[in-house]
Structure 1
Amino acid sequence: MDFNQLFRERTKQFSTAVIRSLSPLLYSDDLSVIRKQIIRSSTSVAANYRAVCRARSEKEKFAKICIVVEEINENQLWLELIEELKYLSSEKIFSLKEECDELVKVMTSYKFKLSQNI
């Protein structure tokens, strides 16, 4: 499996894991806001990474990876809030945060590499 295919799958799996982890939680106004935001940003990571893979130029690819980095970084914030507010167990939040942190590192590195080509 090549790099792009691997990360297309990983970003999709990350958004699926976020949705599955938060969907069963009972409704509250504060959680509802956080849940909507993190679901939007996690699915945006997956969707925009797919756009990176289909970009027609290096500039378009760079623009899309910038969005991916911004959105995955936003996910870190939402996961920190979910942890601090204790909406998820330590075990569930740990695995989500670990994958999010890895995606931030990889996507930031990829963004830097692309910036060298434009």
Structure 2
Amino acid sequence: MDKAELKRRTQRFAIDVIKFIESLPRKRSLDVLSNQLIRCATSIGANYRSACRGKSTADFINKIIIVEEEADESIYWLELMEESELVNSIGITILKKEANELTAIFTAIGKTAREKQRLNKLEVKK
């Protein structure tokens, strides 16, 4: 998956979350969970775009770690909504699947970037 496709995918996830949240009934507890979810879900794509413009490998890695954390946090808020039975779990299932996949993708990207950084440091020392 290339950068452009991943940018589109993270943006699509944010849009899907926005539409999902807009379809929910208004309840105090659900409003709080929805606000948290929309913040982290929209942050994934924004921070990934920022990571792609990283000034250095270290900057890229730091931003990718944030993206990974935001994707994982999205899963948390979706799970809370589902387990508290505040929303229909059918709508959440697709969003959780995508959030899990995005978390796995960004975890792998971060691990690869850290390994390349480590190898580059070893090369410089030689």
Quote the offset at 1:60 in angstroms. Answer: 0.8
Identify the residue that residue 78 of structure 1 maps to in structure 2.
77
The superposition leaves residues 44-101 of structure 1 with CA deviations (integer Å, 9 ceiling, x where unpaired) of 1110010111112111100100100111110110010111123332321111011111
Identical residues among aligned pairs (%): 35
Q: What is the TM-score when the length of structure 2 is the normalising length?
A: 0.87
Unaligned runs of 5+ in 2: 118-126
Q: Specify the alignment match of 1:57 in structure 2.
A: 56
The number of equivalent residue pairs is 117
SS at match of 1:26: coil
Which stretch of the first structure deviates more once superposed, 101-110 or 19-28? 19-28
Residue correspondence of structure 1 range 34-113 to structure 2 within 5 A? 34-113=33-112
Q: Is the 8 A contact 1:58 1:117 kept in 2?
A: no
Give the letter for the 1:102 counterpart: E
Paired with 2:91 and 2:25, the residues of 1 have a C-alpha distance of 16
Supply the RMSD in Å over aligned alpha carbons. Answer: 1.2
Amino acid of the structure 1 residue aligned with 2:85? K
Asked which structure has the greater CA Rg, the reply is 2
With normalisation by structure 1, the TM-score equals: 0.93
